[in-house]
Copies of this chain bind each other. A is one copy, B any other.
Amino acid sequence: MFQELLENLRAQKPLIHCITNYVTANDCANLLLACGASPIMADDPAEAADITALSAGLVLNIGTLHQAVLPAMEGAGRRARALGHPVVLDPVGAGASAFRTAAARRLLEEVHPTLLRGNASELKTLAGGRGDSRGVDAAAADRVTPQNLDQMAAFVKALSARTGAVVAMTGAIDLVSDASTTFCIYNGHPAMGRVTGTGCQLSALSAAFLAANPDAPLAAAAAAVCAMGLCGEIAYARLGPQEGNATYRNYIIDAMDRLAPDTLEQGARYEMR
């Protein structure tokens, strides 16, 4: 199934509009090019909605949110939804400040994203509970483990039902869910946490998969999560004894550039519930 979704992405080369943070914008752009999509970044309210109209998908990432950019996110988000384009909301650091939490909630309510992707702390914050955000990483108490998997799966399913968005909670085990079905995904490598922006890249990649597969948002999001994790595995296997997180960062994007659709099909490790 995932093979076809990646083939669609490579064939359609969707233009993805990212309103995102300046820390990882370059990696998001190169990752989008690697997967077969094309990036455009534009975050001024004077043009954000126009750029969205030209694009096939939108990413709203609040990693270094500025007050002046929030209206651009809202305007672009509404335009994208009006046009039927997928919108991915990445609530980076929600819970870390009142400003971020409020902005993430506002975007969730105003824009009704197609996909909500975050770590457990961020998603718990958005769900109204208390996420123990430690900056932009999930708190230890919020990690998905084999022990709390059932509970976490019920959480993402309920959050999807309530918001209408596909929900992707990423961590050691990734959960991707709509209101009826949940993918539990086992791809990835712990070392990805030592590379800044792998989550941001995944959000951008998800928008590309969703744009190319508009009728299958749940499967598209799951395919993106598997693809990102699989590239993390392939890249890790390449690392030599002197190579660290900077080289790993490059190898992950390289792996996406080289990822064959059937490699994704065979390498995806997940179960559906």
B-binding residues in A (CB < 8 A) = 15, 21-27, 29-30, 33-34, 38-44, 46-47, 50-51, 54-55, 63-68, 93, 96-100, 133-137, 193-197, 238, 242-247, 249-258
Contacts and interface: CB of A to CB of B under 8 A. Distances in A.
A33 B186 CA distance: 23
Nearest to A95: B54
Contacts of A65: 44, 47
Contacts of A24: 26, 29
Given A33-B194, A46-B67, A93-B42, A247 B254 contact: yes
In the complex, which of the residues A40, A137, A238 has the most CB atoms of chain B within 10 Å of its own CB atom?
A: A40
A30 B134 contact: no
Contacts of A38: 134-137
Given A26-B27, A64-B42, A246 B34 contact: yes
A238 B247 contact: no
Nearest to A26: B23
A97 B51 contact: yes
Contacts of A242: 238, 251, 254-255, 258
Nearest to A196: B29
A102 B151 CA distance: 53
A178 to B, nearest CB: 30
A156 to B, nearest CB: 25
16 contacts: A15-B134, A29-B196, A30-B195, A33-B195, A39-B135, A40-B93, A46-B99, A47-B97, A50-B96, A51-B93, A51-B97, A54-B96, A246-B252, A246-B254, A247-B251, A249-B250
A255 B246 CA distance: 9
CB-based closest 6 A-B pairs: A244-B257, A244-B254, A246-B253, A29-B196, A47-B97, A47-B99
Contact of A23 (B15, B41, B100, B238): B41
A246 B30 contact: yes
Contact of A251 (B67, B193, B246, B249): B246
